Amino acid sequence: MIAEIFHKSVDISSEDQLTGEVFGALRYLPYSVARQVIKDSFLPATANSFLEQSLPLEISGEWGRNVYFWRHYAGSQTEPDVVMELENAVILIEVKYNSNLSGDDQLIREAELLLRSYPNKMKFLILLAREESAIAIFNEHKTNIPTEVSFGYITWQRLFDAICKNKANSIICDDLLSLLDEKGFAGFRGFGLMNEETIKAFRVVQEAHKNVQEFISRCITLAQEKGEFELAPMTGNNTFLRWSSDRDSNAWLYYSFIVVFQRRQDTKLKNGSRNGALYVLELNFADFNIPMANVARYDYANIAKNWSTNLISPSDHWIFYDPMYNGIIEYPEYESGEMYCGTVGEPLERYWGLKRVMGYEIPLSEITDNNTYGKIFGTFKELSKKK
């Protein structure tokens, strides 16, 4: 949680990570506080009233030991995100961040799991999701849930408000609020300090994006002119990769741009891709103290197999970004200006069989119109000679 709050390298898109961070912290709170947070955020009102009556007022000892994550139940393939066993009541929480339900019957399966596993307890099935998604899913599925299971929902925004209301002087609550705010779950609180500086900031970003566009275009042109590298085949007329999401405001402002090249001398495959390493240029405006270019070589176990049919899409940004920043590959320490190199014991199937990444970090301020080919493609050539 702390790493994410302070913008360190973590998988910010992981639903499981968010689940563990939020409920892992909630279970350390006094039971009375956690109980009130759940009660204050739970909807609809009819289910909320029954929940309040069913939950014990007090639990002696460490109540958090009865909070289970992704628990396996014998005879079931359903592993709920969170289960809270609270004396005569049990709460199953299905957490959604930016994903949809795992099938139309997911909530029904979870309700049936509660019925089988807790026949003598008051049973609550709670969906936790963004406001618009939570309401839509609840309305669509509320009539399908067995009546023996009380079904309701919590929105991330209401959870934020409930924690804020009950936080007292708890540093755990302060950290949770910082995390949820970082995720964009604080909800609308007014536009606050919006003035001419805001307009200037947007203009700076617009200018930076324009410069990035021109730089990418220049790199592609230089590759075509020199004939040593070429843009890897992409869907449509796209030329670069970026993270984009309507649901996460962090993705509205592009801060990482990835362009993928190949060596022309590598054997050409049926779809236009080449049977060799990929040469990745990433322009990064967030993960360093200054804007930085990552000029890297990505080696794969069997690129001919993984790339025989699929072309690169702009939404594949994470496939190249994550191995660089999210701890998937460990990189031995290196000094500024030195080559970094990270390898894995077994090829990463989720990342198209990736087995090694090596490259250099180059401050964008060092790249000019006169040295672009040397800084980018000269580095690619150097990396291509590495064994």
Residues facing residue 234 across a β-bridge: 312
pLDDT at 246: 81
pLDDT tens, residue by residue, 336-378? 999 999 999 999 998 999 999 999 999 999 999 999 999 999 9
% of the chain residues with pLDDT over 70: 96
pLDDT at residue 221 above 90? yes
Q: What is the pLDDT confidence band of residue 322, given thresholds at 50, 70 and 90?
A: very high
pLDDT at residue 5 above 70? no
pLDDT tens, residue by residue, 288-313? 999 999 999 999 998 877 765 678 99
For the chain, the structural domain boundaries read 2-182, 196-384
Contact between residue 262 and residue 276 where contact means Cβ atoms under 8 Å apart:
yes
pLDDT at 253: 85
pLDDT at 165: 93
Angle 351-245-354 (CA atoms, 0-180°, nearest 5)? 5
pLDDT at residue 43 above 90? yes
Beta carbons within 8 Å of 300's beta carbon, 6+ residues apart: 277, 278, 306, 347, 352, 353, 354, 355
What average pLDDT does this structure show over 22-50? 93
pLDDT tens, residue by residue, 251-271? 788 999 999 999 999 998 877
Q: What is the pLDDT confidence band of residue 25, given thresholds at 50, 70 and 90?
A: very high
Q: Could you tell me which of 11, 4, 51, 8 has the C-alpha nearest to residue 323?
A: 11
CATH 3.40.1350 is held by the domain 2-182: yes
Angle 243-241-233 (CA atoms, 0-180°, nearest 5)? 150
What does the alpha-carbon distance between residue 160 and residue 28 come to, in Å, rounded to a whole number? 17
pLDDT at 194: 83
pLDDT at 4: 59
pLDDT averaged over the chain? 91
pLDDT tens, residue by residue, 75-127? 888 999 999 999 999 999 999 998 888 888 999 999 999 999 999 999 999 99
pLDDT at residue 1 above 80? no
pLDDT at 205: 94
pLDDT at 252: 85
Sign of the Cα torsion 130, 132, 134, 137 reads: negative
The CB density around residue 185, as the number of other CB atoms within 10 Å, is: 21
pLDDT tens, residue by residue, 182-205? 888 887 778 877 889 999 999 999
pLDDT tens, residue by residue, 325-338? 988 999 999 999 99
pLDDT at residue 8 above 60? no
pLDDT at 191: 82
pLDDT at residue 9 above 80? no
The CB density around residue 75, as the number of other CB atoms within 10 Å, is: 7
pLDDT at 7: 57
Q: Range with the lowest mean pLDDT among 54-58, 141-145, 182-186, 305-309?
A: 305-309
